[in-house]
Amino acid sequence: MRVAIVTGGSRGIGRALAEELAKKGFKVGIVSRHPEGAVKSFQEMGLPAFPVAVDLEKDPPEKVVDLALAEGDIHALIHAAGINVRKPALELSYEEWRRVLYLHLDVAFLLAKAVAPHMACVGWGRILFIGSVTTFTSGGPVPIPAYVSAKTGLLGLTRALAKEWAPLGIRVNLLCPGYVQTDFTAPVWSNPDLYQAITSRIPVGRWASPGEIAKVGALLCTEDMDYVTGTTVVVDGGFLSY
């Protein structure tokens, strides 16, 4: 059975992606500080999953790959773990900047670098990074300079790795969700003024569910997507075209 690893797989968009991949026949490693609850609920649904208990801010990302290899050859990597610090640039400390950049961008690079040799051995791999509409914008009504920089950096990383690793059978893409109601965005959607300001700019007229993002992301990890690499797929209800 093909193994997929999904960081941030215990909740939100990562969890929905993990569920879609499991439905598509992958055995999914839920990478999280506390993956056990999610793994249990996957198993109760009859979906193949295993825990990869790692704190990506403390443990070396390579540990994820080492732990997952015990379950079989890794064919897919999705990096959906994320944090944010919502502060204007003049109030953002260097430590906060580094924390956000590290988890989103450095860990993406280190995980991809650790997994690619194994994908090359089987001649097949799918790597999916999670960008955002902030990959292409300044970040909306709440200042998030580190997050915007990290998500834009992922665009360059996606293109560079896609080009280098296409001959190895590895496809690398960037999935860019619009606004999704998760714990991550609770400080925004729980504020009626912010919620209204953002929602009024979404042509579809509402925020997405994690499942709506995941259905598209999981497709990018399938056999049919062999000719799709180095690109971004935006799932934003029309936000960027407003």
Applying CB under 6 A, does 153 fall inside the site for ligand NAD?
Answer: no
Q: Provide the minimum distance between the beta carbon of 168 and ligand NAD in the complex, in angstroms, as a whole number.
A: 25
Rg (alpha carbons) of the chain, rounded to whole number: 17
Query: Which residues neighbour 94 within 8 Å (Cβ) at sequence distance 6 or greater?
Result: none
Applying CB under 6 A, does 183 fall inside the site for ligand NAD?
Answer: yes
Applying CB under 6 A, does 105 fall inside the site for ligand NAD?
Answer: no
Applying CB under 6 A, does 11 fall inside the site for ligand NAD?
Answer: yes
For 144-167, the DSSP string reads: -HHHHHHHHHHHHHHHHHHHHHGG
The only residue of 149, 158, 173, 182 in contact with ligand NAD, by rule CB under 6 A: 182
Applying CB under 6 A, does 68 fall inside the site for ligand NAD?
Answer: no
**Which one of the spans 42-50, 53-61, 119-127, 161-169 is the region binding ligand NAD (CB under 6 A)?**
53-61
Applying CB under 6 A, does 184 fall inside the site for ligand NAD?
Answer: yes
Which token pair is 151? 């998500």
Applying CB under 6 A, does 158 fall inside the site for ligand NAD?
Answer: no
* Residue 147 annotated as catalytic: yes
Alpha helices in the chain (DSSP H): 12-23, 36-44, 62-69, 94-101, 107-122, 145-165, 186-189, 192-199, 210-219
Q: Which of 147, 179, 227, 242 is catalytic?
A: 147
- Tell me which residue has tokens 């609770």: 186
For 14-27, the DSSP string reads: HHHHHHHHHHTT-E
State the residues that interact with ligand NAD by CB under 6 A: 7-8, 10-14, 32-33, 55-57, 80-83, 130, 132, 177, 179-180, 182-185
Residues annotated as catalytic are 147
